[in-house]
Amino acid sequence: MSKIKLYFILLIAAITINSCNKDDNETIAPPLPYAEQYPKDIAIIEDYLKANYITVVNNPGGINDQDVTIAALDADHPTSIWDQKVYPLKSRNVELNGIVYKMYYLVLREGINESPCNVDGVFTAYKGEYLARETVAETSTTEITSTLFQEVKSPNTIFELYSTIRGWKEFFPQLKYGTSKSNSDGTVSYNDFGAGVMFLPSGLGYYNRTQEGIPAYSPLVFSVKLFAIQRTDYDSDGIPSFQEDLDGDGYMWVKSELQDGATTNLDDTDSDGTPDFLDFDDDGDNYGTRGEIKDANGDYYAFDKIPDCSGDQTNPNRLKRHLDKNCIKMNQ
């Protein structure tokens, strides 16, 4: 290749990169105030819940088991999601960006196995729709529309809740996974898995970020099936994240995400601002947790056999020694 040709190619590449940057800058508008957007979103969601009914497929072992259809009320289906009693409509309050968001959800079936914590991985089949309020031209009234952006499909990836939208982090710990069976044709059947539907204000979704097929500021409806979970260990200390959930509520947050006005993070042993699941030295004694959960032979204790400072391994209320900064570890 001649030098001139190469130079020309590099020049084109530089122009392309620069123009991409320019485009990116142009599409980034400052986010709308959360306090203005949230009331619109929650009104859309509540109107939607009152104007639509839900049907759920019950077909154990079938690929369509727990598939969800939501459609407008009619003479044959007069009971709204809001009013029906088959699947109690529940809600969680989520404090984020100065707003107390209300997240409605339905647990269609809880599942029979363990729940993921909010920083585990989930293997899920899901369907997604976004909601909008649109004006009907003839009557000048408004109606809520829902648009499918993800048809339900067999899962092929694990989503780490640590990096998903907030609504997923909040909802999945409410479900448990079920059982799985490999079939002779290479497929896998899932049974008794947890399934549910979450109704998310845009602030618990993508907010001002436009996603493929989803406009910015869209309230979202996800129906999900939880087939399997994957435990994580983000601080690589040998203790899975879900076992660093000290108050056992299924959720772990960094300080800025604490809920209900809490000023103390119950999942942060040494109160240094880094919760245990991200802290390689949970008790702040300058000895890494990983080294404190080994026995005299250098083998790791099973989690429920980690002793306290006296060596006790059975008292369920003992303070395990990696969480006790006054425990002298070098002699053990």
Query: DSSP labels for 173-204?
Result: GG----EEEE-TTS-EEEES-EEEEEEE-GGG
Under the phi-then-psi rule, with left for phi > 0, alpha for psi from -120 to 50, and beta for the rest, what region is 2?
beta
Residue 168 phi/psi, 5-degree rounding, is -65, -40
What is the footprint of Ca ion within residues 211-250 (CB under 5 A)? 233, 235, 237, 239, 245, 247, 249
Q: How far apart are CB 290 and Ca ion at their closest, in Å?
A: 9
- Closest separation in Å from C-beta 119 to Ca ion: 10
Site for Ca ion in 61-90 (CB under 5 A): none
- Provide the sign of the torsion angle of the four alpha carbons 290, 292, 294, 300, taken in this order: negative
Place of tokens 């845009």: 202
- Whole-angstrom distance, CA of residue 273 vs CA of residue 261: 16
Q: Measured from the CB atom, is 133 or 255 closer to Ca ion?
A: 255
In the complex, least distance from residue 282 CB atom to Ca ion, rounded to whole angstroms: 6
* Cα gap 289→303, rounded to integer Å: 12
Comparing every residue's Cβ against Ca ion, the nearest one is 279
CB closer to Ca ion, 125 vs 293:
293
Site for Ca ion in 242-301 (CB under 5 A): 245, 247, 249, 251, 267-268, 270, 272, 274, 279, 281, 283, 285, 287
Number of residues that bind Ca ion (CB under 5 A): 18
Cα–Cα distance for residue pair 14/50, rounded to 1 Å? 54
Q: Select 40 or 329, whichever has its Cβ closest to Ca ion.
A: 329
Q: Which is nearer to Ca ion, 215 or 248 (CB)?
A: 248
Residues near Ca ion, by CB under 5 A: 233, 235, 237, 239, 245, 247, 249, 251, 267-268, 270, 272, 274, 279, 281, 283, 285, 287
